Amino acid sequence: MKLVCLICGTEEKIPLHCGKPMSYIQKGNFRKRDFLKCEICGTELEMPRHCNVPMLYVDEDYMPIYKLSKSEIEELKRIYGE
């Protein structure tokens, strides 16, 4: 697994906690928010941001299907830019 920035495509390793890669969870009802959770100690962290939007938690073989258009990027920034 890895983290990918939707905007610029930068890839980062899954952060480690207690020596293990953190797992992905979603919280919230109306507006879901992405978190990383440590399976060992239960610590939850907000998804790291890149280009001001939360990164995507994806499989190692994930390939972006298409590049986001300018308006889609603006939309993402509007949703997350707070």
Closest CA to 23 of 13, 38, 11: 38
Q: CA-CA distance, 24 to 16, in Å (whole number)? A: 12
Interacting span for Zn ion (CB under 5 A) from 8-16, 23-31, 60-68, 70-78: 8-16
Answer yes or no whether residue 17 interacts with Zn ion by CB under 5 A: yes
Q: CA-CA distance, 44 to 75, in Å (whole number)? A: 27
| Residue from the set 8, 16, 45, 79 that interacts with Zn ion by CB under 5 A | 8
What mask, x for binding Zn ion by CB under 5 A, covers residues 39 to 68?
-xx-x------xx-----------------
* Sequence-ordered alpha helix ranges (H) in 5-80: 70-80
Which residues lie near Zn ion (CB under 5 A)?
Answer: 5, 7-8, 10, 17-18, 38, 40-41, 43, 50-51
